[in-house]
Homo-oligomer: A and B are copies of this chain.
Amino acid sequence: MNQPDRPNVIEAIRFDGERLQLLDQRLLPAREAWLEMTGPDEAARAIADLVVRGAPAIGITAAYAAVLAARRCKGDEAAWQAALDRLERARPTAVNLSWAVARMRDCAKRSGGPDPERLFSEAREIHRQDIEANRAMAEAGAAQIEPGSGVLTHCNTGALATGGIGTALGVIAEGWRQGRIGRVFADETRPWLQGSRLTAWELSQLGVPFRVIIEGAAASLMASGQVAWVITGADRIAANGDVANKIGTYMLAVLARHHGLRFMVVAPSSTVDPQLESGRGIDIEERSPAEIWRAAGLESEPPGFAAWNPVFDVTPAELVDCIVTEAGAHFPPFHFA
C-alpha cells in the first residue's frame, strides 16, 4: 500500500485494510524483513515481542489490529472487545497503546458496533494525525536549538517508532536540515540496542552523520563540551511533566543538569496522561533478564546469576527544560490538562 502523504522515506507499518505488515525491528540493521499478519492476536504478540516498538508506533499498530479484530469477529462485539483487551495488555508502560485502543472503542460505540470500514477510517486517521504531529513537533523542537549545536539522543524515536518522521529524531533530522544541529550522538541503548541498531540505521538512511556511544560514555561526552541538548521521546507524560521513557533517560537528565546542558522531551499529546498527577503512578515494565545475559554469551541465566531489567524510568519534571508536542514547545512549570 502506498501512503503518498508520508513525507519520509522510511516506513515500518503498512496496512491495506486486510493485512498488517510490520518491518521486523528485531532484525535491523542486519536485515530488513517484513512480517505480515491478518489477526489481532498476532499483532498483540508482535507488540509484546518488539517486532514494532516506540509508543506512537505501538498505538498505530494497535489501531490497525483493532480493524483486523473487527473483520475476525464479524459483528460479535464481545469477542471484539476481548481482542482489544488482549491488545491493550501487550505492553504496560506506553500510554499511546491504551489511548489508541480507547479511541477505536469510542469509534465502534459511535457506529453502533465494530464496523470494519468505519474502524479502518479511524485507524488511518490516527496514523495521519501522527504523521502531522511529527511534522509539527520537528519544527517546534528545532526552533529551540541554536545553530550548530551538538545533541545526544537515546533509544529510537524516528520513523520506526512513530507513523511519521519521528518525535525526538524528527526534531534532530529537521534541526540538521536547518543547520541548527551540527553534531549528533546516539546512545546505543541497552539492552535492546534501539540506538545502535535502529537510530543508527535511520540516520544512515537519512544521510545524517552521527556517532553511537555506550550509555556509560554519555557523561564523558557531556564533559567534553560537544553537546548542548539531550533530546528524547516519551512513553508517558504525567500532568505535572514527569516523563516515563526508555531506561537511561532519567540518567541522561541528571547528567545533563550536572553539565549545564538542556533536556528536551518530544512526544505527541497522545503520550500525555492528564489523569496521572505525577510519575509516581506509572507502571514500569520489567522484561526478561535474558535480554541482559544474551549479550554476555549466555542462552539462559546460570544458577546464582540474577539481573534487574526495568525497561523504562521516570524523569522528574524539574530536570526537563522543554516538552515539545504538536501544540508547540512547553516550558516549566508544566501543567497538562
- A185: interface (CB < 8 Å): yes
Q: Which residues of B contact A246 (CB under 8 A)?
A: 216
Residues of B within 8 A of A296 (CB): 29-30, 188, 193, 196-197, 200
Q: Of B30, B185, B215, B293, which is within 8 A of A215 by CB?
A: B215
- Is A73 in the interface zone, CB < 8 Å from B? no
* Size range of the chain A interface in the assembly: 35 or more
Contact B302 A196 (CB under 8 A): no
Q: Which residues of B contact A248 (CB under 8 A)?
A: 214-217, 219
The segment from A47-55, A85-93, A303-311 that touches chain B is: A303-311
**Interface: A258 (CB within 8 A):** yes
Known: A204-B302, A258-B258. A250 touches B219 (CB 8 A): yes
Number of copies of this chain in the oligomer? 2
Complex Cα distance, B248 from A255, in Å, reads 12
A190 within 8 A of B: yes
Contacts A204-B304, A213-B308; is A293 near B196 (CB within 8 Å)? yes
B211 touches A308 (CB 8 A): yes
- 25 pairs across A/B with beta carbons < 8 Å? A29-B298, A29-B302, A29-B305, A30-B296, A189-B216, A190-B216, A196-B296, A196-B307, A200-B296, A207-B304, A214-B248, A214-B309, A215-B215, A215-B248, A216-B248, A217-B247, A217-B309, A217-B313, A219-B250, A220-B247, A220-B251, A220-B314, A223-B250, A254-B255, A257-B258
Known A-B contacts: A29-B305, A196-B293, A197-B296. Give 6 more (CB < 8 A).
A200-B305, A204-B303, A215-B251, A216-B247, A217-B247, A219-B250
